[in-house]
Structure 1
Amino acid sequence: MTTTPPDTPARRSRRTRLATGVAATAILLLGSGCSTADDPGGVAGAASAATGVTVVETVLVGDLLDGPSSLAVRPGTTELWVANSGDDSLTVVDLEDPESARRLQDSYGEHFTARPSGIAFDEDGTFFAVSNDSNNEVRDMEFELNPERDSHFRNNNFMGPSLFSPDTFALAGQNKDYLGDWPQPGISHDPPDDIPEHQCPPEYWSESTARCAWPRQGSHLDMLHGNPLSTGIVHDAANAYFVLDGCGVGNSDGECSGPGHVARVDFNRDHQEGNGFHGDGTTRRYIDLPHQRVEGVPSGMMSHGQWVYYADTGAGVVRRFQPDSGRTEVMVSNWNGSPAGHGEHGPGVIDWSHLEDGPGDGDDPDTVRTWVAEHGNQEAIKAAGDRWIHPRETLAEYSYVWDATVEEIAVEGIAAEGVAVEGIAVEGVAPGSAARPSGLVAGGESWFVADNASGRILEFKWDGTAGRVFETGKNGVTGLALSPDGRTLYFADSGTDGIYRLSLS
């Protein structure tokens, strides 16, 4: 379904143009004439050497986008999904029919897709997850119905990635106008189940069950809350994803100290649309894999072979790590005393209150503290010292990975006519080449990185050889995606609220 955000002067000022199809006139910009030994004047030559220009074509610009931060093509389709950090929405466009573009907004997007920075699908496109560059500010909300949320639920770092189905995103939870007040009382997800009839709004009272049937919260299938200010995400396996945690240790005042690190979150069995049970989820912090968040700039992630790659945006480098390396140490074990499940998926428990022997609402801070006290590895927690990050919800397992294998990518420097590319060191992608690396995407023979600082998109072969450099002429280049056939590179630009494409052949 398509919704329209509130019309404000800020949004009107950003409306420069709207184009739902491919622009009739391509934008011609200076590019590189670089060729390689395997491709002497071939692909690189076709893209730029023969003409001296990079051809940038417009796919979509305007009101259907707002601060586009990340791109992903849904597997098995020609649908390009765009995360909009400006208004907590997603835009979907069929690459074969740009006029099909539509904007989707979940009713509870201010929490479940809050400043979305990344979007990643599983292998067959059945599910996707979104990383949220938010500390749970629930921006623009005024909690008049439940004012306790202002002190307990706002700016509390209770934030992380959300899991969705692409077929049902934004179809559930349509019980309030966007940015209207949340009807449920309390400080977290699950409303009380024992509200008496005289305290339940008449429209929510169920005569058949004699219970207050509060409306479910949006179309999300699951969410974990231990990774605020997350700037990127990539799928791993089943319902598990790697995310870039930009918060770091943080503090009890809702502030993040940084630098952050890589984490692996596993939703396991989802709680179905709009519910709130997360007690089977697991979080694994790769505490030695550094990540420096840059406010408002997404950080790309991608997988290739046995490695996961990520843009350490603040450090101006691209790193890769081996997920199975290092030493895993369980810091807090399962709240129910049994081994945690891993790699599960499908529908599971939907509500903490449905567990007869459960600890209570697993989102409640006192319940979390009790879980850590009773099931925590106190020796390991003490040894972690100032690197200990207290969990924000009750999980099936909370662990650290120490000494994982990580390295900066070995590439060679290049300098093409009209393109100042300096400092691409053997040790990694150094400042000066990609001063603010943002989007990443993996191709068959090479990979690409977007430099948010310069507007360049750089190509590297998998052996580290530098390839082409594309000067896009944009000042807010963020997410990247490849067409299903790998012959077209798509990129987002937050400066113009646009999606553009480059031919790679």
Structure 2
Amino acid sequence: MRYVSVLASIVCASSIACVDDGKEETGDLASADAIAGTPSIEILGTSGDGLSVPRDLEFHPDRPEELWVVNQETDGMVILFEPGTGTQTSEDRVDSFAEHFMEEVSSLAFGVTDDTVDDHPISTFGTCQESRNTYNDQAPPNDFMGPALWPGDLDLFAEVHQTGLGSHIDMLHSSPMCVGMAHDARNKYWVFDGQNGVLTWYDFQVPHGYGEDDHSDGMIRRYVDVALNRVPDVPGHIAVDDAGLLYIANTGEGQLLVVDPRNAVEGDAIPLLFEPLEEYTEYVGASVATLGDGLD
């Protein structure tokens, strides 16, 4: 149990957090009682459900009876309905244009539940891809790859526009080999950019919609003080707490980082590479602390 107190000391010493007010709230470290004992493990899904190199999973925020799991091997999604119950079922979905928009998918993060595309209300989620964009080995890698935005509705995802750029509703292209993703706010996401080795923030702003490719309102910020090192085929998860602090599995360095991006300021502009954007800049001055080191 000493690890709990050690982590608490490191966090508070970093000045990023924390003062214990005695109340239970998001971000509190687990008590010794909470982590004691033997965990219970139950297998909820197998290859029989379509799982093939599952890399990330989240419950749908609007429909908590749905567990969505991204499949790296198939560039797709397995959705488990009523997992762990006697009525559990599953669906295996692959968008017809997943060879680009979800190639080698590594990460999943649900976004808002009240967006609008083509005048219809939708929920959304983002994916990130551990790929340099080869269209499933049909072309040499060109690094035209980054996070994609999707509808989180069952009648839309991998169902609509299957002959015209698929069901994705936006994509930005400056983070190949991405291994981690977390939702920030609205259509804003944090990603672990494995190719460039840096924490990166994306804002899709207004989704371009089905069958479109106008990314000119996209915003990208690279937090250059937050150097990251990926391990191939290993998730580099990111979590965001209610205070806006980021917790990042920096797998290549065996570290767990906590990042406060709120005091970072705009730095130099970055030359555009693939497409016009509203913003592409460096941000400097983010606070970074190491919560754990030498981790496997």
TM over 0.5: yes
* Structure 2 spans left out of the alignment, 5+ residues: 6-29, 115-122
Report if the CA contact (8 A) 1:226-1:393 is conserved: no
Pick closer, same or farther for the CA change 1:39–1:158 going to 2, 3 Å.
closer
1:174 aligns with 2:162: yes
Of 136, 143, 146, the match for 1:160: 146
Separation in 2, partners of 1:268, 1:227:
17
Per-residue CA deviation, residues 189-216 of structure 1 (Å, 9 max, x unaligned), is xxxxxxxxxxxxxxxxxxxxxxxxxxx2
Distance 1:330 1:290 in 2: 17
Identity rate, percent: 30
Give the counterpart letter for 2:60 in structure 1: R
Give the Cα separation in 2 of the matches to 1:274 and 1:235: 24
Deviations 1:412-463 (CA, angstroms, capped at 9, x unpaired): xxxxxxxxxxxxxxxxx222xx31xxxxxxxxxxxxxxxxxxxxxxxxxxxx
C-alpha contact 1:65 1:84 (8 A) present in aligned 2? yes
1:442-453 equivalent positions in 2, closer than 5 A: none
Match of 1:68 among 54, 59, 73: 54
How far the C-alpha of 1:403 sits from its partner, in A, is 2.5
Whole-Å Cα distance in 1 between the matches of residues 34 and 235 of structure 2? 29
Residues 163, 35 of structure 1: alpha-carbon distance in 2 compared, 3 angstrom cutoff: closer
RMSD across aligned positions (CA): 2.3
Aligned match of 1:306: 244
1:85 to 63, 69, 72: 72
Pair 1:283 & 2:220 matched? yes
Give, in angstroms, the shift of residue 44 of structure 1: 3.5
Residues 39, 164 of structure 1: alpha-carbon distance in 2 compared, 3 angstrom cutoff: closer
* 1:460-479 deviations in Å (ceiling 9; x for gaps): xxxxxxxxxxxxxxxxxxxx
The alignment partner of 1:219 has SS state of coil
Pair 1:274–1:298, CA change in 2 (3 A)? farther
Report the equivalent of 1:376: none
Is residue 173–residue 219 contact of structure 1 (8 Å, CA) maintained in 2?
yes
**Structure 1 residues 90 and 35, CA, compared in 2 at 3 Å: closer, same or farther?**
same
**What is the 5 A alignment of 1:119-138?**
119-124=108-113, 126-138=123-135
Q: Is the contact made by 2:112 and 2:187 (CA closer than 8 Å) also made in structure 1?
A: no
Tell me the distance in 2 between the aligned counterparts of 1:288 and 1:303. 18
Structure 1 counterpart of 2:34, one-letter code: V
Where has structure 1 moved over 6 Å in runs of 4 or more?
none
* CA deviations over 1:241-280 (Å, ceiling 9, x no partner): 00111111xxxxxxxxxxx010001101111112110001
Per the alignment, residue 40 of structure 2 pairs with 55
The reply to whether residue 229 of structure 1 matches residue 177 of structure 2 is yes
| Distance in 1 between residues matched to 2:279 and 2:177, nearest whole Å | 22
Cα distance between partner residues in 2 of 1:35 and 1:122: 31
- Offset of residue 164 of structure 1: 0.5
Superposition deviation, residue 308 in structure 1: 1.0
- Corresponding residue of 2:198: 261
Tell me the equivalent position of 2:167. 219
Structure of greater Rg: 1
| In structure 1, distance between residues paired with 2:106 and 2:182 | 11
Aligned residue identity for 1:129? G
Secondary structure at the counterpart of residue 60 of structure 1: coil
Report if aligned partners of 1:110, 1:139 keep a CA contact under 8 Å in 2: yes
| Cα distance in 1 between the residues matched to 2:207 and 2:4 | 48
Residues 112 and 125 of structure 2 are in contact (CA less than 8 Å); yes or no, is this contact kept in structure 1?
Answer: no
RCO higher in 1 or 2 (8 Å CA, sep ≥ 6)?
A: 1
Q: Tell me the residue number matched to 2:34.
A: 43
Moved more, 400-409 or 123-132: 123-132
Measure, in 2, the Cα distance between the counterparts of 1:231 and 1:162.
13
Asked whether the equivalents of residues 82 and 88 of structure 2 are also in contact (C-alpha less than 8 Å), the reply is no
Q: CA, structure 1 residues 101+156, in 2 after alignment: closer, same or farther (shift >3 Å)?
A: same
How do 1:18-417 and structure 2 match up within 5 A?
A: 42-45=33-36, 48=37, 53-63=38-48, 64-78=50-64, 79-96=66-83, 97=85, 99-124=88-113, 126-141=123-138, 150=139, 154-167=140-153, 168-175=156-163, 216-248=164-196, 260-304=197-241, 305-331=243-269, 372=271, 391-409=273-291
The match for 1:477 is none
Shift of 1:297: 0.9
> Distance in 1 between the 2:67 and 2:218 partners?
29
Q: What is the Cα deviation at residue 35 of structure 1?
A: 9.9
CA offset at residue 77 of structure 1? Answer: 1.8
Instruction: Give unmatched runs, 5+ long, in structure 1.
Output: 1-31, 142-149, 176-215, 249-259, 333-371, 373-389, 410-428, 436-505
User: TM-score, normalising length from structure 2?
Assistant: 0.81
The 2-side partners of 1:39 and 1:300 are apart by: 23
Amino acid of the structure 1 residue aligned with 2:63 = T
Q: TM-score, normalised by structure 1?
A: 0.48
1:359-394 per-position Cα deviation (integer Å, ceiling 9, x unaligned): xxxxxxxxxxxxx5xxxxxxxxxxxxxxxxx53221
Distance 1:67 1:137 in 2: 19
In structure 2, give the amino acid aligned to 1:269.
V
Q: Name the SS for the 2:200 alignment partner.
A: strand
1:100 partner amino acid: T
- The alpha-carbon deviation at position 324 of structure 1 amounts to 1.7
Q: CA deviation at 1:310?
A: 0.9
State how far apart, in whole Å, the 2-side matches of 1:295 and 1:173 are: 32
**Structure 2 SS opposite 1:318:** strand
Equivalent-residue separation in structure 1 for 2:278 and 2:268 (angstroms): 11
